[in-house]
Amino acid sequence: MLALDVITDPICPWCLIGKTRLDRALQTVGDSPFELRYRMFRLNPDMPAAGMDRRAYLEAKFGGPEGAERVYGHIAEQAAADGLDVDLDAIGRTPQTLDAHRLTRWAEAEGVATAVVDALFDRYFRRGQDISDRGVLLEIAEQAGMDRAVVATLLDGDADAAALAEEEKAAREMGVGGVPCYIIGGQYVVQGAQDTASWEKIIREIAAALATKAEQAAAADAAVEPGATA
């Protein structure tokens, strides 16, 4: 297996689109060579803890109402083209996502990170819920099979906040300026929401390379006689 670090933010629509395309490619190919690991990147690291009004945020970011409508109109069209059922108009506030990332980190330790990431996207883009809200996060955790009481205690403190901040800092120092971004095997970077066909090609090439490497290693082991020094 090869590590695939998925650098993402659950309020990023292109991260949802990118994940959908990657998931479809993995399903088509069938035998995944990847171990997925989710890594934090906040589009808005300076966002207030309470978040801010969604429309005000978008208009400030994209230069007014027309800019916001243009950018998110394109996103809505792309989401529809990818068969995604999203309700962007239902989103009332843009949240601070640190706690959502903390929950994802704890979920990864329990092997349910993908379920949590999917739920964060669902709650935000399909239901318009505030994914910085403690109650929403606890519901997501519980539905993924995590211990609600343990997660509540962790959320009450600052567990893993510093570690995630360092992780995010490292990503920015590597040159990551936006998400989604994928790092394959700690070496190769794939930037942006690649289409499904591109992912299928990447997955098959990596699977073939890993298989060849394994065959070569097996052949080398077989060539060494018992008791001989390799």
Can you tell me which residue has the tokens 């955790």? 141
The pLDDT value recorded for residue 225 is 58
pLDDT of residue 21 exceeding 60: yes
Q: What is the mean pLDDT of residues 95-109?
A: 98
Q: CA nearest 162: which of 110, 216, 107, 105?
A: 105
CA distance 97 to 145: 21
Instruction: Classify residue 111 by burial, with Cβ atoms within 10 Å: 0-12, 13-18, 19+.
Output: exposed
Q: What is the mean pLDDT of residues 47-58?
A: 96
Q: What does the block give as tokens for 208?
A: 């073939």
CB 102 within 8 A of CB 161: yes
Q: What does the block give as tokens for 54?
A: 């969604």
DSSP state of 126: I
Can you tell me which residue has the tokens 């309020």? 11
Q: What is the pLDDT of residues 140-196, one digit of tens each?
A: 999 999 999 999 999 999 999 999 999 999 999 999 999 999 999 999 999 999 999
pLDDT of residue 219 exceeding 90: no
Q: CA nearest 61: which of 94, 39, 89, 102?
A: 94
The pLDDT value recorded for residue 224 is 75
Q: What is the pLDDT of residues 24-37, one digit of tens each?
A: 999 999 988 999 99
Q: What is the mean pLDDT of residues 108-119?
A: 98
Backbone angles phi, psi at 179, to 5 degrees: -130, 155
- CA quadruple 197, 203, 205, 209: dihedral, nearest 10: 180
* Percent share of the chain, pLDDT over 90: 89
Q: CA nearest 168: which of 157, 159, 178, 158?
A: 178
Give the pLDDT band of residue 87 (cuts 50, 70, 90). very high
What residues contact 134, with CB distance under 8 A and at least 6 apart? 99, 152, 155
What residues contact 120, with CB distance under 8 A and at least 6 apart? 10, 100, 103, 104, 131, 140
pLDDT of residue 228 exceeding 90: no
Helix (H) or strand (E) holding 216: helix 196-223
Give the pLDDT band of residue 223 (cuts 50, 70, 90). confident
